Amino acid sequence: MDALTRLCGAVAALGAALIAIAVGAAAVPWLAVPLVLSGAGQLAVMVAAFRGWRWPLPAVLAPLAAPTALWLLALLASPEGAATLPLVPMLAESVLALAAAVALLVDRRIGADPARRTAEPRPLAALLSLAAVATVVAGVATPALAGTHAGSLAQPHGEHGLTLDVDEHGGH
């Protein structure tokens, strides 16, 4: 079961990383660089969790907490600069990062105590659990990504390609 908890944390870290990178891509430079770097750190945490590696606690928590801490610090230090960061995507990133941190910390506690370890989940249960977590993360991350600057420039669905204007009467 600890492997399933770790995978759920990895999926949440992936959602948080995508949002942090998307928000950082359009932020002012002094906010953009740390946001994109912490997003890359969150991707590294995600890869490590998928691989089953257990990193030291600060190496896991630092990239997960960095975007939220930076956002709060920017709100206090420079409200004008923080105003460039979209509210809903930053809230969604914070929620996903917190969920990833909790899942990875629970996995760490379970993995550290051999008496608390449980048997690996059955494949169908693991697949359904992973699909449910991925659905929740997608439900949080998709609107958050749409709320970023990059999301505002995205092509609306159903409007791809050429539109053909056909005159039904052919000049009659």
pLDDT tier, 5 (very low <50, low <70, confident <90, very high otherwise): confident
Q: Domain-by-domain residue ranges, the chain?
A: 2-150
Q: Which two tokens stand for residue 138?
A: 């997608």
Residue 161: the pLDDT is: 61
* 77 vs 51: CA distance, rounded Å: 38
* 122 vs 34: CA distance, rounded Å: 40
* 54 vs 52: CA distance, rounded Å: 6
Residue 109: the pLDDT is: 63
Is the Cβ–Cβ distance between 39 and 20 less than 8 Å? yes
pLDDT tier, 149 (very low <50, low <70, confident <90, very high otherwise): confident
pLDDT for 116 beyond 60: no
* 117 vs 1: CA distance, rounded Å: 7
Residue 162: the pLDDT is: 59
Least confident of 82-96, 110-124, 139-153: 110-124
Higher pLDDT, 82 or 142: 142
Residue-wise pLDDT for 7-46, tens only, equals 899 999 999 999 999 999 999 999 999 999 999 999 999 9
* The model's pTM: 0.82
Is the Cβ–Cβ distance between 59 and 13 less than 8 Å? no
Residue 165: the pLDDT is: 62
